[in-house]
């Protein structure tokens, strides 16, 4: 069991499946343990906007019956999974953290990743909170209020998948389906002390397109790399609704995690990418983490300057997407919306096609630069974020503007490379810090292998958030 506590809520997905296989754990018992955690911690964390206990129990009982008959129907049969409230889920409203979305409509379609989870027997029990339309790096919204960090509830868990990060960190499901258009998986993974993987372009089918279109990816959050690898093999299976998605079946990533030889890796380590103002405590923690790879025999070279800050191109490109996505918002709807999102929408008015296409050209040049970079290096390591978690009710920490604290994440939404955040230590205040692992275009496997190799040297599951320490040694 994860955390060495014997608590079923902290069992990994792979532990659960092993227990189901041998008849020592029931999917119903696993769900009950997760729901008990949810009942105890949700009043503190505010990580969920939908909880469907009855529906989840029906799914768990059906799974238990299949396991008794020796006929599990997929790779995740009986494993509890939460879904971020950006992703279509049949039977549940997808309100996207917004009071402007009418809940009284037909909710009869699963998005591709959710459909794959159901086909593989996952037990879907609830939807996790998001800022309005997943538009910022912390998780609060006019619809659901503030979601809090389980390590210190005065702080943010990050965003926009903050509900997912807080849930996974505290044993409210071993797996969460999340989204990332500027760091929205990796930010809460770092701030909540869990693993999060933003897959490469087209690896996981998306439908309908998010407001942030080609910047976005759907991916897993988990407490172990192996769990995320297993989930990625499920959600990355093809779906014709996304014309840009890779039509080839995915690898069985979990079976390949141990097949790499870290001593052959050429790794670039960049503390700032050349422009990020890094908190000294974060620098010290991540620098120590990089030494783990040297200890594994990898060749590690420090590269201070990787590229110029691509924020201007990111901002101009996103500005055009924002103008289009919110072109029909009415003045009365503005009164219902997050004020920072309203500011973004207002600022996007007047975005031109020329400006948007020019940003797309800059994006292509950055992607080319990283393609050439990965001719020299198999992997790039950076801090995930410039800072430790900061106070709730704010969109950025003291001393940083609206985006500089997540300056390590958004470049790889532009280049659409696979990137993951791995917990790599705690600050003196006991707050988690993440190491970002970036791989070459379309090579999710090496990112997962590197994260797994690191995890084996520093199994972070022994660290537990404050909200769960009464259950841990």
**Structural domain total, the chain:** 1
Pick from 30-44, 147-161, 293-307, 453-467: least confident: 453-467
DSSP track, 352-368: -HHHHHHHHHHHHHHHH
Catalytic annotation, pick one of 12, 98, 184, 233: 184
| Predicted confidence band of residue 1 (pLDDT cuts 50, 70, 90) | very low
As a whole number, the mean pLDDT across the chain is 95
CA neighbours within 13 Å on the CB side: how many for 341? 29
| Predicted confidence band of residue 447 (pLDDT cuts 50, 70, 90) | very high
DSSP state for residue 152 in the 8-state scheme = B
Catalytic annotation, pick one of 2, 82, 84, 127: 84
Q: Phi and psi for 379 in degrees, rounded to 5? A: -140, 155
Whether the pLDDT of residue 209 is over 60: the answer is yes
Whether the pLDDT of residue 210 is over 80: the answer is no
Q: How far is it, in rounded angstroms, from Cα 401 to Cα 347? A: 16
End-to-end CA distance of the chain: 14
Q: Is 157 helix (H, G, I), strand (E, B) or coil?
A: coil
The size of the chain, in residues, is 473
Query: What global pTM score does this model have?
Result: 0.96
Catalytic annotation, pick one of 12, 82, 141, 160: 160
pLDDT confidence of residue 460: 79
Q: Can you tell me the mean pLDDT for 222-241? A: 97
What residue spans of 257-338 are helical by DSSP H? 280-295, 311-325, 331-334
Residues 6+ apart with CB under 8 A from 92: 50, 52, 83, 107, 127
**Annotation says 263 is catalytic:** no
**Annotation says 84 is catalytic:** yes
Pick from 261-275, 350-364, 389-403: least confident: 389-403
Q: What is the CATH number of the domain that holds 211?
A: 3.90.1300.10
| Predicted confidence band of residue 3 (pLDDT cuts 50, 70, 90) | very low
Whether the pLDDT of residue 220 is over 80: the answer is yes
| Predicted confidence band of residue 171 (pLDDT cuts 50, 70, 90) | very high
- Domain boundaries, position 109: 2-471
pLDDT confidence of residue 462: 65
Per-residue pLDDT tens for 385-427? 999 999 999 999 999 977 899 999 999 999 999 999 999 999 9
Tell me how far CA of residue 252 lies from CA of 13, 116, 309, 444, in angstroms.
Answer: 15, 15, 35, 11
% the chain with pLDDT above 70: 97
pLDDT confidence of residue 5: 35
Q: How far is it, in rounded angstroms, from Cα 297 to Cα 434? A: 22
Q: How far is it, in rounded angstroms, from Cα 169 to Cα 251? A: 27
For residues 244 and 355, the answer to whether their CB atoms sit within 8 Å is: no
**Annotation says 65 is catalytic:** no
Neighbours of 304 (CB within 10 A): 10
* More confident call, 449 vs 464: 449
């Amino acid at each position: 069991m994860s955390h060495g506590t014997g608590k079923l809520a902290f069992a990994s997905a792979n532990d659960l499946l092993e227990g189901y296989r041998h008849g020592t754990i029931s999917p119903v018992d696993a769900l009950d343990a997760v729901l008990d955690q949810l009942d105890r911690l949700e009043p503190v964390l505010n990580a969920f906007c939908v909880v469907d206990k009855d529906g989840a129990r029906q799914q768990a009982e059906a799974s238990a019956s299949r396991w008794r008959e020796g006929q599990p129907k997929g790779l995740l049969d009986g494993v509890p999974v939460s879904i971020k409230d950006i992703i279509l889920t049949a039977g549940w409203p997808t309100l996207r953290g917004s009071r402007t979305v009418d809940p009284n409509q037909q909710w009869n379609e699963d998005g591709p990743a959710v459909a794959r989870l159901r086909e593989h027997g996952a037990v879907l029990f609830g939807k996790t909170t998001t800022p309005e339309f997943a538009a910022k790096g912390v998780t609060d919204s006019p619809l659901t209020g503030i979601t809090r960090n389980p390590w210190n509830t005065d702080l943010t868990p990050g965003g926009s998948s903050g509900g997912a990060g807080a849930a996974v960190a505290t044993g409210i499901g071993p797996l969460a389906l999340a989204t990332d258009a500027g760091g929205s998986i990796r930010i809460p993974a770092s701030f909540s002390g869990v693993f999060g993987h933003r897959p490469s372009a087209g690896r996981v089918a998306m439908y309908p397109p998010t407001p942030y279109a080609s910047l976005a990816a759907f991916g897993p959050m988990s407490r172990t790399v192996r769990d995320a690898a297993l989930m990625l093999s499920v959600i990355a299976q093809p779906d014709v609704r996304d014309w840009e998605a890779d039509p080839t079946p995915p690898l069985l990533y979990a079976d390949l995690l141990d097949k790499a030889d870290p001593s052959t890796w050429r790794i670039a380590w960049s503390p700032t990418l050349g422009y990020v103002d890094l908190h000294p405590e974060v620098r010290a923690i991540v620098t120590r983490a990089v030494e783990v790879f040297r200890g594994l025999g990898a060749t590690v070279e420090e590269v201070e300057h990787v590229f110029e800050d691509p924020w201007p191109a990111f901002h101009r490109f996103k500005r055009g997407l924002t103008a289009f996505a919110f072109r029909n918002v009415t003045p009365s709807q503005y009164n219902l919306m997050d004020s920072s999102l309203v500011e973004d929408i207002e600022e996007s008015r007047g975005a031109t096609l020329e400006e948007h296409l020019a940003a797309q050209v800059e994006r292509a040049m950055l992607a080319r630069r990283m393609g050439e970079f990965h001719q020299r290096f198999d992997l790039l390591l950076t801090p995930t974020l410039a800072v430790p978690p900061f106070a709730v009710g704010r969109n950025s920490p003291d001393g940083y503007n609206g985006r500089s604290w997540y300056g390590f994440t958004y470049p790889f939404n532009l280049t659409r490379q696979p990137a993951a955040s791995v917990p790599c230590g705690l600050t003196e205040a006991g707050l988690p810090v993440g190491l970002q692992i970036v791989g070459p275009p379309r090579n999710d496997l090496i990112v997962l292998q590197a994260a797994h190799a690191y995890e084996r040297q520093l199994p972070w599951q022994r660290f537990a958030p404050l909200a769960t320490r009464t259950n841990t040694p």
